[in-house]
Amino acid sequence: MGLLERLRKEWFILGIVLVIAVARLEPGVGVKGGPLKPEITITYIAVSAIFFNSGLSLKTEELTSALMHVKLHLFVQIFTLVFFPTAIWVFLQLLSITPINEWLLKGLQTVGCMPPPVSSAVILTKAVGGNEAAAIFNSAFGSFLIVRRYIKDWLERKKPPFGAISSCVLLMIIYTTFCDTFANPNIDLDKFSLIIIVFIIFSIQMSFMFLTFLFSTRNNSTFTPADTVAIVFCSTHKSLTLGIPMLKIVFAGYEYLSLISVPLLIYHPAQILLGSLLVPTIKSWMVSRQKALKLTRQPKAPVKV
């Protein structure tokens, strides 16, 4: 893959870096009361647009094929919405005695409470060849956004660029959030805390992916290899598209909102990077596992006397 093609593919991550840099250079444009009027355009219009657009982008017609995988869905939802935030909370009790920035730690806790993303978990599951329908179901269930069915035919004809729309709106939200940060002289982020948070995030993702893999492949498990792929990605990925608007609503008025959002901004590219690197390995495992299971289920030929 050429450099230009790679940059085009990862334009959103580059966009995050760019809008943060622009906010650093000229924070007055996006602060509250500034020319962009983020207290109106972001708080009401942009956040609403994100949720509405996410709901429309879900191919809910594909969910019916996944409804019967009750055990898989329970596993993913319990891990994502119960075990994940609880484990992070326990871990943060230990980190609270360290000199790591407390607002970054609060942000890490919010990451644990986020639903799985609709895009990356499904894309990576599909890339491996896993249970895509189950990935879509759990992403949709975790987001509670199902409105597509009413205008499905029109959407199929027009095929609006949902991903690009959400990403652009999200960049606006990130930009105004960091404008408030850089305009506030009382906020300071030390490099030590940032480096430690990056290390923690990568460690959490790798540990939880390994943990879900172990649980879903144990001897008494009824999950297929394709199910395991969906479980690994859906259980450990967190939604940036829905997460940032959620933080904007929950922590409205907090001067440290941008610091709280930093762990989620790190988690997003980290999950894509790790997932992309693991796709060949997981795909190889899944194919070999499926072949092995197929051989064990084949009836043995009768022995000739």
Closest CA to 261 of 239, 278, 282, 290: 239
CATH of segment(s) 3-292: 1.20.1530.20
pLDDT at 90: 95
Contact 178, 258 (CB under 8 A): yes
pLDDT at 205: 93
Burial class (CB in 10 A: 0-12, 13-18, 19+), 7: exposed
Residues 6+ apart with CB under 8 A from 165: 49, 53
- Per-residue pLDDT of the chain (305 residues), as tens digits, is 567 777 777 787 788 888 888 988 888 888 878 888 887 887 777 766 766 665 555 555 555 556 667 788 888 889 998 999 999 999 999 998 999 999 999 999 999 998 876 555 665 565 566 666 666 666 655 554 455 555 556 666 667 666 677 778 778 877 887 787 777 776 667 888 889 999 999 999 999 999 999 998 887 878 888 888 888 888 888 877 778 888 888 887 787 888 898 898 888 778 877 887 787 888 888 888 888 877 776 665 555 55
User: Could you state, in order of their start, the residue ranges of all structural domains in the chain?
Assistant: 3-292
pLDDT at 109: 93
pLDDT at 293: 76
Residues 172, 228: Cα–Cα separation, whole Å = 36
| Token pair of 295 as six digits | 């051989």
Q: Is 221 left (phi over 0), alpha (psi -120 to 50) or beta?
A: beta
